[in-house]
Amino acid sequence: MGKELKLELGKLYETRDENVVFIYRISGGRYLGSVRYGGCYEWEKDGTSSGNNCREIIRCLDDETGPVDLTKIDVPFGELCERTQDRLAGAYARGVATELSLGDRWIEPSRPVFDIGLKYRLKPENPAYTMPTVDDKVWLALPGAKSFTWDSGATNPYAHAKSNPDKVEHYGQWIDGDELPANLFGDLIQRGDCPWDQAIVLRPEGL
């Protein structure tokens, strides 16, 4: 039966020896999972485990119960069922990148606390980000600005006098910029939802 499987990240499976496995990472084409009673191991995509037939995965438990896609969660942690909460928190504990919703975008918190009123999800493998934009009228109104940036978790943009502003990764901040009120230019400046270290717009040539 294991030959018919195609393992997926974030799902629970049963092994031939009736153990339970949670697949939490893909590395080098192999699927890494934690066994409820016995540590962490690797499997091929079809569920086979080299040198140990008893550990072969034979079926997906989540397919029988309609699991929540942990990369598409859009409700507060407290509204998730207990099993989904355990899966989400367990994935983070094993090193899977986890994101926190700030309303209009998702960020990677340094240490999620899984507050019942906040939204968390596993970071999608290929997220589709909306990049920030700055209308030409803004550049014309601020002739000294060479770039705009946004710090981690911030809605207010920063105007910089150079096109290559420095940033401090540890604090999630760009430096040497002048903070502008978020609503100063209305819809002429759009933050988007990309990670903070990609939230930079350079002055177009000719403006």
Domain annotation for the chain: domains and CATH numbers: 2-64 (2.30.30), 77-122 (no CATH), 133-202 (no CATH)
Query: Among all chains, which residue has been given the structure tokens 């999630």?
Result: 172
**Percentage of the chain modeled with pLDDT above 70:** 92
| pLDDT level of residue 9 (50, 70, 90 thresholds) | confident
Please tell me the least confidently modeled range out of 49-53, 136-140, 203-207.
49-53
Cβ proximity of 84 and 46 under 8 Å: no
- The mean pLDDT value for 76-95 works out to 85
Query: Which amino acid appears at position 164 of this protein?
Result: N
Answer left, alpha or beta for residue 148, where phi above 0 means left and psi between -120 and 50 means alpha. Answer: beta
pLDDT greater than 90 at residue 114: yes
pLDDT greater than 80 at residue 95: yes
How much is the pLDDT for 174? 92
Of the candidates 169, 157, 153, 170, the residue with the CA atom closest to the CA atom of residue 118: 153
Q: What φ, ψ does residue 168 adopt, rounded to 5°?
A: -110, 105
Counting Cα atoms < 13 Å in the Cβ hemisphere of 33 gives 30
Model pTM? 0.45
Query: Which amino acid appears at position 119 of this protein?
Result: K
pLDDT greater than 90 at residue 158: yes
User: Would strands 57-60 and 12-15 be described as parallel, antiparallel, or unpaired?
Assistant: antiparallel
∠ CA 152-10-84, nearest 5°, is 80
DSSP secondary structure code for residue 129 in this structure: P
Cβ proximity of 169 and 103 under 8 Å: no
Cβ proximity of 196 and 188 under 8 Å: no
The radius of gyration of the chain from alpha carbons, rounded to an integer in Å, stands at 22
DSSP element (H, E) containing 84: helix 82-93
